[in-house]
Amino acid sequence: MTIVTLTTDFGLSDPFVGIVKGVLLARAPGATIVDVTHGIPPQDVLAGALVLRQAVPFFPAGTIHVAVVDPGVGTSRRPLCVETSRGLLVGPDNGLLSLAAPRGDLRRVVHVTAERFFLSPRSTTFHGRDVFAPVAAALASGTSAAELGTEVADMERLGLPSPTVEARRIRGQVIYVDHFGNLVTNIDGETLARLEGTPSAIVVGGMRIPGIAASYAAVPTGSPLSVLNSWGLLEVAVRDSSALKHLGAGVGESVVVES
Amino acid sequence: MTIVTLTTDFGLSDPFVGIVKGVLLARAPGATIVDVTHGIPPQDVLAGALVLRQAVPFFPAGTIHVAVVDPGVGTSRRPLCVETSRGLLVGPDNGLLSLAAPRGDLRRVVHVTAERFFLSPRSTTFHGRDVFAPVAAALASGTSAAELGTEVADMERLGLPSPTVEARRIRGQVIYVDHFGNLVTNIDGETLARLEGTPSAIVVGGMRIPGIAASYAAVPTGSPLSVLNSWGLLEVAVRDSSALKHLGAGVGESVVVES
Amino acid sequence: MTIVTLTTDFGLSDPFVGIVKGVLLARAPGATIVDVTHGIPPQDVLAGALVLRQAVPFFPAGTIHVAVVDPGVGTSRRPLCVETSRGLLVGPDNGLLSLAAPRGDLRRVVHVTAERFFLSPRSTTFHGRDVFAPVAAALASGTSAAELGTEVADMERLGLPSPTVEARRIRGQVIYVDHFGNLVTNIDGETLARLEGTPSAIVVGGMRIPGIAASYAAVPTGSPLSVLNSWGLLEVAVRDSSALKHLGAGVGESVVVES
C-alpha cells in the first residue's frame, strides 16, 4: 500500500481535488490517498510549505507527498520530485517543498522532464491534474525518482524569518494562523531555552500575556494565553475563542518574549 | 478491513486532520478512514455529540469512531474508549461520546491510561494526534479496549433539553442547525404522536407554519415549512433557501407545535 | 476495487457525507470512495451537472458516480441509474446527471424502482443516504443497472447557454465561478477557432482584456487576463487574485470576444 498525500490551495468547492484523485487512481489503482489540506490560502506558497513541513514526519517512510500551490503554473518554473530520508515530495519548484526537505535530509532533487508520464494534452492552468498527479502515480507504481528527469543540485528555498535572542528578550513573529485563530510564532522551544530566566511575559498585539501556560484550559474562558504547541512552537491563543479575532494580530505580527 | 471514523472541530484548512490520518496509517496500515465531519464549531461539544449520535448507526458494527472536540486538552480530563453494542468510541471524557453511547448500549467504559500506546513526546494541545489516533490505531490492530486502561463506571454525560407535552401543545427548541440552514428541533416522531389531534401549526421565530409537510418541495420556493427529517426529528426549513437566514432562529430558539 | 465518487451540495459541516459513506461501506465493504466535491451551492443543479461533467472523464471506466443535488427529494422525481460508455451515474432525475451523459454516450437509463435496494424506512429528506448510497453499493457489489428498475428513454436534460458567433465577435457568458474567483465561460476552443482573426480583446464586466494569455503568470500580479483553461473553456482570471472580486462578474455575466 503506497500512501499519496495531497496539500493544495484548490479548495473543496470545485472538482479539482476529485479530478486529481481520479487521475491517481486510474494510474495507481492501489494507492491510498490522504488529504493533508486543500485549504492553503490561494497562492500562499509559504503557508503550504509550513503545512507540508508539519505533516510529513507523521506519515510512514516512503509516502509520496504531492503539493500544489502554484501561481507560476504554465510558465518555465520546474516540476520537481524530491527524495528525502522520509519520503518523496512532488510539486512545483517555487519553495513549496523546501521546508519539508532541509538540505541535511536531501537524497536527490529531480527536475521532472519525462513528459511520457504526464497527461496529454497538458493544460497550462492545472498541472496538479496533468503533471503532478500522474508523476505521483508513476512513483506509486514503482517508477524511481531518477527515471523522471534530470537530477539537479537543489531547489528554490523559502526563508522563514528567524527570531532574534537578546539576554532577556526574544523577538519573533507570527508565521501561521490556524482554523481556531491560534497564532503560531517562529519561536521554538530551543530558542525559548536560550532566554536568561523564565519567560514572564509574551507581548503581542498590544497585549501582555503572563508566561507560558501548560494548556489552553489554564486560563479562564476568553482570556489570552501562550503555549508551546504541537509543532514545538510558541503559540498565542484565547481560551475557547480566537486570538486572531481578539488580538487582531495575523501573520507577520511582532511577538516578544521577556523574562 | 477496519473502519476508523473521525469527528472533530479541527476544520480542513490546517494539516491537523491529515496528521491524524498519517498517525493512523503508520500504525494501522490497513485501516479505512472515513471523515464524519471536521466542521463541528470550535469547542462545541454538544454539536459534536449530536453529530456522532446520528452517524454511528450507519456504520458497520465494530467500526472505531474517534471524536475530538476537546477544550480541556492538556488538563486532567480523561481519555476514554467506550465499547457499545455498535462499535468503539474513542475521545475525551467531556460528554462528546455520551449521546452515541446511551447507558443501555454500554458494554464497557475504559479510562485510557496505557501510555505505551500514545505518541511520545506528547503535546498538551493536540491529543487527536498524540493520544486518540494512536489509541484508535491500536484498536484497529487488534488491541482490546480492556488493554488500554482501567474500566470505569460511566462517563461525563450531556443533557439534551427535552420537549414538554401538554394536551394540544408541544414546547421544544432548536438543537442543531445544518449547512442548508435547516433548524433541527428536539421534537421527535414519538413526541409528536403524543399530541392530541393533528399538528396544525409550528410556531418558531415569530412565524406560524401550517402543519407538517411531506417534503421540502411541498410548499412554494421561499416558503417556510416543517418536516419530520432524516434523523426522526421535527425540522423547520425554507424551501430552496435557509431557515436560519429567513427566520433568524438558531440553536436554543423555542419551537411550539399546536394541534 | 470499485470506485464510487460523490458529488453533492451537502457541505462538510454536518455528518451527511459521513453517513452516506457509512451506508456505502456497510453494503460494499471493498469500495474506494472519492469525494468529487460536496461544495455545490445548495440546490444548484446546474453547477452540480457541470462539475460532474468535468470530473467523470478522469476516473477509470466502470466508476460509479453518485450525485445528489436534489431540491425535489421526497417528491415523485425519479431516482436514476444511467449507464454510459464511461461508467455509471446515480442520482435524481432533475438534470444533474445530464451533462455528464450526453445522448451519444448513453447505453441505458434506468428509473430505479426496486425498493429492496433502498434503506428501510426511507426518509423524505435524505435520499443520498436512503436511496442513492445503497443503490450505488448494490452496483459496486455486482448488481446490474437493469436489475434496479425500468429502462426509460431518457432523462431530464439541462440546457447550457450556447455562445453565438459572428464574423469577428463571439458572445458568451460566465457559467461557473471557481474557488479562486476565476470566471469560466461557455466559450470553448472550437468556438474560438471559428472567429475570423486572432482574439484581440475579451470584454467582461466593463473591462477589456487584451487577447488570450498563455498562463496566469503572463501578466503582472493584480492584472486581469484570459486563458483557455483546463476544461477547454475560455476563463477570465486576475493574476494571484480573484476575478470574481475584481470584476464583480458572476454566473450569467456577458463575455464578448473580439478579433
pLDDT single digits (tens) A188-230? 999 999 999 999 999 998 899 999 999 999 999 999 999 999 9
Name residue B207's beta-bridge partners: B204
**A179–B10: do the CB atoms touch at under 8 Å?**
yes
What tens digit of pLDDT does each residue of A120-168 get?
A: 999 999 999 999 999 999 999 999 999 999 999 999 999 999 999 999 9
Q: What is the pLDDT of residue C1?
A: 77
A103, burial (CB in 10 Å: exposed 0-12, middle 13-18, buried 19+): exposed
Beta strands in chain C (DSSP E): 3-8, 32-37, 63-68, 79-84, 87-92, 106-112, 149-152, 164-165, 169-177, 183-188, 201-204, 207-209, 224-228, 233-238, 254-258
C98, burial (CB in 10 Å: exposed 0-12, middle 13-18, buried 19+): buried
Give me the residues of B, 169-228, that contact C with CB < 8 A: 178-180, 214-218, 227-228
Q: What is the pLDDT of residue B251?
A: 95
C-alpha distance across the termini of chain B, in Å: 50
Q: How confident is the model at residue C120 (pLDDT cuts 50, 70, 90)?
A: very high
Mean pLDDT of A57-78: 96
Average pLDDT of chain C is: 96
Mean pLDDT of B156-176: 96
**3-state DSSP call for residue C235?**
strand
Using the Cβ of C51 and the Cβ atoms of chain A, whether some distance falls under 8 Å is answered with yes
Q: What is the pLDDT of residue C249?
A: 86
Beta strands C63-68 and C3-8 are parallel
Q: Give the C-alpha separation, C244 to C259, whole Å.
A: 24
Residue showing cell 451506508: C23
Average pLDDT of chain B is: 96
Mean pLDDT of A166-188: 97
Contacts of C208 (CB under 8 A, 6+ apart): C201, C202
Q: What is the pLDDT of residue A249?
A: 86
Q: What phi and psi values does residue A84 have, to the nearest 5 degrees?
A: -120, 180
**A129–C58: do the CB atoms touch at under 8 Å?**
yes
Q: What is the DSSP letter of B75?
A: S
Give me the residues of C, 105-124, that contact B with CB < 8 A: 123-124
Name residue A226's beta-bridge partners: A236
Instruction: Identify which of B29, B17, C31, B119 has the alpha carbon closest to the alpha carbon of residue A62.
Output: B29
Name residue B34's beta-bridge partners: B5
Q: What is the pLDDT of residue B249?
A: 86
Which chains border B (3 or more CB–CB pairs < 8 Å)? A, C
Give me the residues of A, 68-107, that contact C with CB < 8 A: 71-75
Mean pLDDT of A225-251: 95
B10, B19, B76, B118: best to mutate for the A interface, most A CBs within 10 A: B19
Q: What is the ipTM of this complex?
A: 0.97
C-alpha distance across the termini of chain A, in Å: 50
The C-alpha cell of A35 is what? 488529504
B37 contacts in chain C (CB < 8 Å): 12-15, 17-18
Mean pLDDT of A10-29: 98
Q: Give the C-alpha separation, A207 to B57, whole Å.
A: 47
What tens digit of pLDDT does each residue of C128-148 get?
A: 999 999 999 999 999 999 999
The C-alpha cell of A60 is what? 510512514
A126 contacts in chain C (CB < 8 Å): 229-230
The C-alpha cell of A152 is what? 539537479
Q: Give the C-alpha separation, C112 to C33, whole Å.
A: 22
Q: What is the pLDDT of residue C43?
A: 96
Which candidate from C33, C125, C129 shows the least CB-CB separation from B215?
A: C125
Which chains border C (3 or more CB–CB pairs < 8 Å)? A, B
Q: How confident is the model at residue B206 (pLDDT cuts 50, 70, 90)?
A: confident
Q: How confident is the model at residue B1 (pLDDT cuts 50, 70, 90)?
A: confident
Question: What's the gap in Å between the CA of A197 and the closest CA on chain C?
Answer: 45
**Of A227-231, B14-18, B245-249, C183-187, which range is least confident?**
B245-249
Which chains border A (3 or more CB–CB pairs < 8 Å)? B, C
Examine the pLDDT at C151 and tell me if it is beyond 90: yes
Share of chain A above pLDDT 90, in %: 97
**B25–A180: do the CB atoms touch at under 8 Å?**
no
The percent of chain B in helix, strand and coil, each rounded to the nearest 5, is: 25, 30, 45
Instruction: Identify which of C19, C56, C51 has the alpha carbon closest to the alpha carbon of residue C133.
Output: C19
What tens digit of pLDDT does each residue of B100-156 get?
A: 999 999 999 999 999 999 999 999 999 999 999 999 999 999 999 999 999 999 999
Q: Give the C-alpha separation, C16 to C13, whole Å.
A: 8
Q: Give the C-alpha separation, A42 to A40, whole Å.
A: 6
Using the Cβ of C8 and the Cβ atoms of chain A, whether some distance falls under 8 Å is answered with no
Q: What is the DSSP letter of B238?
A: E
Using the Cβ of C32 and the Cβ atoms of chain B, whether some distance falls under 8 Å is answered with no
Q: What is the pLDDT of residue B27?
A: 98
